[in-house]
Structure 1
Amino acid sequence: MPTRTYAGVEVAVDEQGFFLDPSRWDEAMAPEIAAAEGVAELTDRHWQVVKFMRHEYEEKGTGPSVRALGKTSGVPIKELYALFPGGPAKLAAKIAGIPKPRGCI
């Protein structure tokens, strides 16, 4: 099983780098995960989405799709793509330390 180290903590991840145990995630890890994925800095808007993703995962057992994220997070879809290039739901989930949402490729 692959592992990664973020904020000095070794965590188990799947082959795409998603946490296998989301309870191991800590906010201090997010900037390192983001940087590794090409997001240089986490702004307040990034954090709004990351925290929303974690909340949705805790409530529903999965992160929201891009469409649901755009409708319910308070961040419009166009901005989501600017904040999280290449796939907002997938990238935000990875930074938030939750499994890849259903429907993400």
Structure 2
Amino acid sequence: MEIPQRDGDGYLVDRDAWTPEIGRAMADTDGVVLDDVKWTHIVKAREFYDEFGVVPPIRKFAKFIEFDQKEMFKLWMTGPMKPITKYGGLPKPTGCV
């Protein structure tokens, strides 16, 4: 699958080009394994963005999906919102990620 153009941080230049298949292909290209739990986070982040028009800070997102924030950091092995938004075709999170 051909991945649409990405910026220097790996985010899609054209967010409208995102599909679940492209999100998974981007993660594969980056060497990131998206299991069911991680994919659920991506889907929920897209729902949050669709509803509120913003990428939530991690604390608010963890509460939104009723998932322990510390566990999210362990699961993603990094600031969770960056890969969640990147592979979800969402804008880069602002603030601490």
Asked whether the two chains share a fold, i.e. TM above 0.5, the reply is: yes
| Paired amino acid for 2:91 | P
1:57 shift after superposition? 1.8
| Paired amino acid for 2:78 | G
Between the aligned residues of both structures, percent identity stands at 31
| Paired amino acid for 2:23 | A
Secondary structure, in 3 states, of the residue corresponding to 2:78?
coil
Partner of 2:36: 44
Q: Could you say which structure has the higher helix fraction?
A: 2
Match of 2:8 among 15, 28, 39: 15
| Paired amino acid for 1:49 | H
Match of 1:86 among 54, 78, 82: 78
1:69 shift after superposition? 1.4
What is the 5 A alignment of 1:28-67?
A: 28-40=21-33, 42-67=34-59
* Matched residue count: 97
Distance in 2 (alpha carbons) for counterparts of 1:82 and 1:35: 19
Dislocated runs of 4+, deviation >3 Å: none
**Greater relative contact order: 1 or 2 (C-alpha under 8 angstroms, separation 6 or more)?**
2
Greater alpha carbon shift after TM alignment, 53-62 vs 83-92: 53-62
Q: Could you say which structure has the higher strand fraction?
A: 1
Which ranges of structure 1 fall in alignment gaps of 5 or more residues? 1-6
- Aligned alpha-carbon RMSD (Å): 1.9
